[in-house]
Amino acid sequence: MQDTVDVKPTKEIALETECIRYTDSGWSKTIASVPIERELTIYINLKEFVTILCTPLKLNFLVIGFLYSEGIITGMADITMMRVCDAESEVDVRLTRDDYELPKRKRLTSGCGGGPSFITYGQRVESDFELTPKEIMALTRQLQEHMDLYQTSGGVHASALADRNKLLIMAEDIGRHNTVDKIQGECIFKGISTRDCVLLSTGRISSEMLLKAARMGVPIIVSRHSPTGTAVRLADELGIALVGRVRGNRLSVYSHPERLGFRDN
């Protein structure tokens, strides 16, 4: 790729605002931090493609991951140039193919802000990767400890890609789908394989999240919330262990529990 920009944010990602707080001592005025929400419009070969609501952090990775998860690119070799411009409100992406046609149809997802999606299928994940419940609980605690933006302002989701022992890549955003795209994009950019890893998220696992995980080749996806019914069905079909309601020393496994060592004798 010939032209890129710094992946660090050039704008603030949290804003201080006045609020009225209630505690056991009564009411008081205070200053609170809230996360910044911005519109990011992606142009492909000078044609408007889609507008995403996001946190202005790791925008390069967000765009790369989104284009990959939607099947528009297969890797960095498909991009000749990408530039974030106009106070981070637009991204200009040039593909190696001049004859690229934008998708004719898109569907609205259940993501924060009604996220757009153009892909409705996933490929079955083939992997022998397994984790124990205790390993998953330990990784979940690591994720909570590294949620810097959440600790500052709240109101955001976090996701992380991890191996058996530690977090490899982490991302925070107002949209839980965006966090997965940021992780995918950073892995593509840095040449990090997402296969035989676990994807952890603070948000509810929906069908779109599950399809993104399948696209990454991730055999285990974990959340502290319950998944949707469609996500459970897809996880079962795609060979993904779907783990939810991870709280303290408890968790629930909705599909492929053998990836967590469960054997129904």
187 is catalytic: no
| Annotated catalytic residue within 19, 54, 85, 112 | 112
8 A C-beta contact, residue 90 and residue 41: yes
Tell me the residue type at 87. A
Strands (E), the chain: 14-23, 26-35, 38-44, 47-54, 79-85, 90-95, 107-108, 116-117, 157-162, 167-173, 198-201, 220-223, 241-247, 250-255
- Torsion sign over Cα 130, 135, 137, 143: negative
Which residues, other chains included, contact 109 with Cβ-Cβ below 8 Å and sequence gap of 6+? Answer: 115, 116, 117, 177, 206, 207, 208
β-sheet bridge partners, residue 40: 52
Which residues, other chains included, contact 218 with Cβ-Cβ below 8 Å and sequence gap of 6+? Answer: 125, 161, 194, 195, 197, 198, 199, 240
Hey, which residues are catalytic here? 112
